Amino acid sequence: MRQLFLSALLLSILSQGNAQQTQKPPLHGKNWMAITGKPMAATAGSMIFQKGGNAVDAACAMLAATCTMWDVLSWGGETQALIYNPKTKKVIAINALGVAPTGATAAFYKGKGYSFPPEYGPLAAVTPGTAGGICHMLANYGTMSLKEVLAPAMEMAAGYPIEAQTANSLERNKAMIKQWPYSKTVFLTHPGEQREAPEAGEIFVQKDLLATLTKMVEAEQAALRQKKSRKEAIMAAYNRFYKGDIAKEFVRGCQEQGGLITMNDLAKWKPIEEEPLHVNYKGIEVYKLQEWTQGPMLLQSLNILENFDLKKMGYNSPEYIHTLYQTMNLTFADRDFYYGDPYFSPRSPIKGLLSKEYAKARAKEIDPAKNNAGIQPGDPYPFQGGVNPLLPLLKERADLTDSTKKKDDNFVPKHDVITAMNDEQAYQDRLWRGTTSVEAADKEGWVVSITPSGGWIPACIAGKTGIGMSQRGQSFVLDSALSPFNVIAPGKRPRVTLTPSMALKDGKPFLSFAVQGGDTQDQNLLQFFLNVTEFGMTVQQASEAANINSNQLWLSLGGTTIKDRQPRPGSLLLNSNTPEKTRTALKGMGYTLSFTERSSGPINAIYFDWKHNSLWGGSSNHGEDYGIGW
């Protein structure tokens, strides 16, 4: 009876278009919108807007604040962003992902017994990207000084009341944190007591981080006194971080604890401004970052799904769920094999992968009656006028993907953050491993979508900088049979799950959306987009609506063995309120079902209502996500 009632309620909500029966109220704004994964960080964005900043200024302030709050990211992590520039009417892509350091080769890690680079610690680190990303975005597209934009984060570093989520994460991970002297000093504020981490609401002080941010602002202000331009002054702060005394202490602290990052690695790295990738879905231009992220997987999926009448199938009907799952199987297989750093040769066959003709060919592989447990990467090369040089590797990969074969589990590290979990909990932790999202828009037309991450708890802090090193190196592979474009090498970027999204309609911003959650990110974003475009949901309804998650993919994070990351064919996560009739039908198609109360994200998004010249905000009902509009 309860399931029938909930199904009827959902149909009622959908039939009412802009009805507002959601767990959290939709956000409305005329002038600006600021949404992110932490309430205090959303407040930081609102403070910047109220001082006259634009959406880029506010997004940088929110990003700086979330980095200062740890848990899901820190200042040593990476930033991935899409920015809509109303002056040029174009979407800009910002690649502020760090690179593998000097000496980080597949042979190095194999020599230490690893099957993948480790999950945590100095040997998981790529060079920090977020500080450079903030400086680049602010200098080129913001309006305010670094001093103004960092002010909320610096006030927080001087002491803010820590929230329970982060405080409890520190306590859970204190055994690992104690391995790293600088992390232990910062995070375990009550050494020797039963609870060594801060309590929720305790004022958490980060003197070293505050000193680092102060040095950046000092460099900016000194440059301004020398009559440098606003942009030049911000880049003076950038140079102090990557080439000056901050860099020297970061490298010293990293190498002291066994890391590989050198001064030359930091000095050579820089954020890159790119052309985003995009496809047209029924008149809507959807933009994602290039194939150094998993973002093109969503674009490939939309190309395939154009060949089906999704609206006729019905929202989350067995046929719809099956079609989504099979589509994602196809695109994840391509992601897992073909995606990688486009600045290393050879480049992924991205033109073929995003071809509409390739999508039609892949769509024909979907069996409408059952799950294909053996889906492999396709061959996109003919669709860009080439011949696939990797066909021999595809056979090796098929053998690795066969979960019925026994694999060598290889090295298991002494300290594993998930040792207290059972196998299923550990798997889900790797699948969903969080980050955060930042969404901002203003009345001038600037729009920003960011999915930053890296340096999360348990983070290894580099010396007296207060900066936690990224753990993104774990997203590399060591064997070309798994992913020939994503084998670790010095100076190379790992293929990441982080994937902001933006869509334009009739040449104007339509949607800006992002989500946290590891390999589930583009799964949830794909369904969010379809919820809005195919099923008429508002952004708040779509951010809360029941989604599905596929486990038939290679995990990008966590685990130390091939077995840890192998696909789980037919494994399907559904919302707990899925009707019994749907469950029965899916089981008959060969799916193994699991359930959760919230399966939608957490998604944060902005919708541009051009009819009324206003903004709609959707902020996830999962946890701490929060938005403010005006």
188 lies in the same domain as 113 = yes
Same domain for 93 and 56? Answer: yes
With pLDDT > 70 as the criterion, what percentage of the chain qualifies? 91
Query: Do residues 126 and 199 both lie within one domain?
Result: yes
Strand 603-609's sheet: what is its strand order? 27-29, 614-619, 603-609, 508-515, 501-505, 284-288, 277-281
Three-state DSSP string of 471-509: CHHHHCECCCCCCCCCECCCCCCCCECCCCEEEEECCEE
**Does the residue 14 lie in any domain?**
no
Under 8 Å between Cβ of 445 and 84: yes
Q: Do you find a cis peptide bond into 602, omega within 30 degrees of 0?
A: yes
Bigger pLDDT: 398 or 73?
Answer: 73
Q: Note whether 419 and 448 are same-domain residues.
A: no
Does a structural domain hold residue 481? Answer: no
How crowded is residue 164: how many other Cβ atoms within 10 Å of its Cβ? 11
Q: What is the mean pLDDT of residues 386-392?
A: 93
- How many contiguous H segments (helices) and E segments (strands) does the chain have? 24, 19
Instruction: Assess if residue 491 is contained within a domain.
Output: no
Tens digits of residue pLDDT in 176-222? 999 999 999 999 999 999 999 999 999 999 999 999 999 999 999 99
Residue 557 falls inside a structural domain? yes
pLDDT exceeds cutoff 80 at 85: yes
Domain count along the chain: 2
User: Backbone phi, then psi, for 278, in 5-degree steps?
Assistant: -155, 155
In residues, how long is the chain? 630
Domain of 450 in residue numbering reads as 41-273+444-475
Quick: pLDDT tens for 39-54: 999 999 999 999 999 9
The encoded tokens of residue 18 equal: 């802009």
* Alpha helix stretches (DSSP H) within 69-126: 106-111
Assess if residue 114 is contained within a domain: yes
- Is 487 within a domain? no
Query: Quick check: 258 pLDDT over 60?
Result: yes
Same domain, 575 and 553: yes
pLDDT at 376 over 60: yes
Residue 430 confidence (pLDDT):
43
Backbone angles phi, psi at 175, to 5 degrees: -60, -40
Query: What pLDDT shows up at residue 610?
Result: 97
Question: Do 94 and 136 contact (CB within 8 A), yes or no?
Answer: yes
Mean pLDDT of 216-229: 98
Q: Distance (Å, rounded) from C-alpha 415 to C-alpha 407?
A: 22
Residue 160 near residue 203, CB atoms below 8 Å: yes
| pLDDT higher than threshold 80 for residue 408 | no
What are the tens digits of pLDDT across the range 342-366?
999 989 999 999 999 999 999 999 9
Strand residues in 433-565 grouped as ranges (E): 438-442, 447-450, 501-505, 508-515, 549-550
On the question of pLDDT at 568 being above 70, the answer is yes
Q: What is the pLDDT of residue 215?
A: 98
Question: What pLDDT digit, counting tens, does each position of 321-346 carry?
Answer: 999 999 999 999 999 999 999 999 98
Residue type (1 letter), 510: F
Average pLDDT, the chain: 92
Residues facing 288 on adjacent strands: 277
Whether the pLDDT of residue 99 is over 80: the answer is yes
For the segment 446-499, what is each residue's pLDDT rounded down to a tens digit?
999 999 999 999 999 999 999 999 999 999 999 998 899 999 999 999 999 999
Cα 426 to Cα 432: distance, rounded to the nearest angstrom: 10
Q: Looking at the structure, do residues 47 and 105 belong to the same domain, yes or no?
A: yes
CATH of the domain at 576: 3.60.20.40
What is the identity of the amino acid at 47? M
Q: How far apart are CA 375 and CA 363, in angstroms?
A: 12
Omega cis (within 30) before 181: no
pLDDT of residue 395: 80
Domain boundary among 475, 491, 523: 475
**pLDDT over 50 at 26, yes or no:** yes
Q: Is the Cα torsion angle 490, 495, 497, 499 positive or negative in sign? A: positive
Q: Tell me whether residue 494 is in a domain.
A: no
Candidate from 31-40, 431-440, 463-472 with smallest mean pLDDT: 431-440
Whether 148 and 222 share a structural domain: yes
Assess whether pLDDT exceeds 50 at residue 156.
yes
- How many whole angstroms separate alpha carbon 507 and alpha carbon 510? 9
Q: 513 lies in a domain?
A: yes
- pLDDT category, 246, cuts 50, 70, 90? very high
Ramachandran angles phi, psi of 293, nearest 5°: -115, 175
- Greater confidence, 4 or 341? 341
**Do 257 and 306 sit in the same domain of this protein?**
no
Which range is least confidently modeled, 10-24, 246-260, 603-617? Answer: 10-24
pLDDT for res 400: 65
Looking at this protein, which amino acid is placed at residue 25?
P
pLDDT at 12 over 50: no
pTM of the full predicted structure?
0.93
Residues 91 and 109 in one domain: yes
What mean pLDDT is predicted for residues 282-304? 98
| C-beta separation of 105 from 487 below 8 A | no
Instruction: Verify that 268 and 333 share a domain, yes or no.
Output: no
Asked if 475 and 191 touch (Cβ cutoff 8 Å), the reply is no
- 128 and 91, same structural domain? yes
Dist CA 502 CA 518 (whole Å): 19
Q: Write down which residue in 458, 475, 492 finishes a domain.
A: 475
Q: 453 and 528 in one domain?
A: no
